[in-house]
Amino acid sequence: MTNLLPLNLLQHLSCPKCLREERETDLLLEEKAVVCSYCSALYPLKEGVIIFEELKQDKKSERLEKVYSAFWEKGNDLFLEQDYNEQNQLLKEWKGYFDNETILDAACGNGRFAKEWVDAKAQGIIFFDISDSIFLCQKQFQQKYPDTPALFLKASLLEIPLKSKSIGFTWCSGTVGLLHDQEVPTKELARITKKNLILGVLTDQTMAGKIYIGLNIIKPIINRINNLNILFKLCGIMAYLMVLSFRVLYFLRLNLSFLPRKSLEKILQDKNNIRRIQCSLFDPMIIPKVIKKSDSFYTEHAKSMNQLMVETKRDYLCDYYLFEEKNIN
């Protein structure tokens, strides 16, 4: 299968071990792995995905990897390309920034933005995620878009195995705000981006961010539950009760300020409503803790890597910061 890896994208890879020592080296393609041309570190190739996972992991990242592998396995079919209307609209407005570029979808989950990148006639797309969702992403992408050059990495935002300024356009949404260390990933994303970076982060300003932060109160209990199936079932019971109360609200024609009748109707008509709410509850529950950071935090760290913030947008989920490479030194 190695001949399927596009060489124009492989040239952007760099050995994480060497990167730690501030040395950018090439990775060479072998039969079932890529190998560092300098230190001979070997990164295996499994089901079309290059595995970098064993590097620089801590206990909290391990939990994120485990819980998101479970999340995407349970919810993949619910969160596909057609389900992301709001972000899709934002990407339409920003399409000019990624038309004909080499695109990186960092912490891509199941790769639900793939269609946007393919429609923009990307020179090539690199997807990476720390969880097993990257295998799903690879499989689904190859089935749908076999002719678009793409590379799939199991890798961490804390140590992105790419050369500095190698990527024309980087997209990372819904992840950096969930991590314990937000400085390193922000700097890493800015480091590897040549032109534009869009960082979509959960903040205390967005609706989803408020929910995530609110749930921090019960996280010390939740995080003791190691059996994710139990946690998922618990979310299922809560989702069932929520849908039941939505039905009562609808029947009684009661109006809630944060849930207009139209949205209520949409939820009740969705045949997957219980499962969808179950997954949406499971997601913020499984994150160990969400830390609040202000805009200036992201702006400052990106700026230290020559990326200047030029625009912001907001949807229910994230605040989006558009950065642009500027020679500011």
Q: Which residues are near ligand SAM by CB under 6 A?
A: 61, 64, 68, 107-109, 112, 129-131, 133, 156-158, 173-175, 179
Task: Please check whether residue 120 is in contact with residue 93, taking contact to mean a CB–CB distance below 8 angstroms.
Answer: no
Of residues 149 and 174, the one with the C-beta less far from ligand SAM = 174
Q: Pick from ligand SAM, Zn ion, none: which does 17 bind, CB < 5 to 8 A by kind?
A: Zn ion
Which range touches Zn ion (CB under 5 A), out of 20-28, 45-53, 77-85, 195-203? 20-28
> Using CA atoms, how far apart are residues 271 and 262, in angstroms rounded to an integer?
16
Q: Pick from ligand SAM, Zn ion, none: which does 41 bind, CB < 5 to 8 A by kind?
A: Zn ion
Q: How far, CA to CA in Å, does 247 sit from each of 251, 259, 278, 279?
A: 6, 13, 17, 20
Q: Rounded to the nearest whole angstrom, what is the least distance from the CB of residue 15 to Zn ion in the complex? A: 3
Of residues 57 and 240, the one with the C-beta less far from ligand SAM = 57
> Using CA atoms, how far apart are residues 256 and 86, in angstroms rounded to an integer?
22
111 SS3 class: coil
Of residues 25 and 186, the one with the C-beta less far from Zn ion = 25
What track of x and - describes contact with Zn ion for positions 39 through 78 (by CB under 5 A)? Answer: x-x-------------------------------------
Instruction: Determine if 36 is a binding residue for Zn ion (CB under 5 A).
Output: yes
Q: How far, CA to CA in Å, does 90 sit from each of 25, 97, 302?
A: 36, 12, 21
Q: Pick from Zn ion, ligand SAM, none: which does 39 bind, CB < 5 to 8 A by kind?
A: Zn ion
Q: Rounded to the nearest whole angstrom, what is the least distance from the CB of residue 21 to Zn ion in the complex? A: 8
> Using CA atoms, how far apart are residues 96 and 181, in angstroms rounded to an integer?
31
Token pair for 302: 């990106």
Of residues 166 and 186, the one with the C-beta less far from Zn ion = 166
Which range touches Zn ion (CB under 5 A), out of 12-20, 51-59, 174-182, 264-272? 12-20
**Residue in this structure with the two tokens 């195995």, named with its chain if needed:** 161
The radius of gyration of the chain from alpha carbons, rounded to an integer in Å, stands at 20
Q: Rounded to the nearest whole angstrom, what is the least distance from the CB of residue 166 to Zn ion in the complex? A: 16
Strands 167-173 and 102-106: parallel
Which range touches Zn ion (CB under 5 A), out of 36-44, 74-82, 283-291, 313-321? 36-44
CA atoms within 13 A on the CB side of 246: 22
Of residues 13 and 176, the one with the C-beta less far from Zn ion = 13
Q: Pick from Zn ion, ligand SAM, none: which does 36 bind, CB < 5 to 8 A by kind?
A: Zn ion
Instruction: Determine if 17 is a binding residue for Zn ion (CB under 5 A).
Output: yes
Q: Pick from Zn ion, ligand SAM, none: which does 150 bind, CB < 5 to 8 A by kind?
A: none
Of residues 15 and 290, the one with the C-beta less far from Zn ion = 15
Neighbours of 243 (CB within 10 A): 17
User: What would the 3-class secondary structure string for 29-87 be?
Assistant: ECCCEEEECCCCCEEEEECCEEECCCCCCCHHHHHHHHHHHHHHHHHHHHCCHHHCHHH
Q: 31: Cβ–Cβ under 8 A, 6 or more apart, which residues?
A: 2
Interface contacts to Zn ion, rule CB under 5 A: 15, 17-18, 25, 36, 38-39, 41
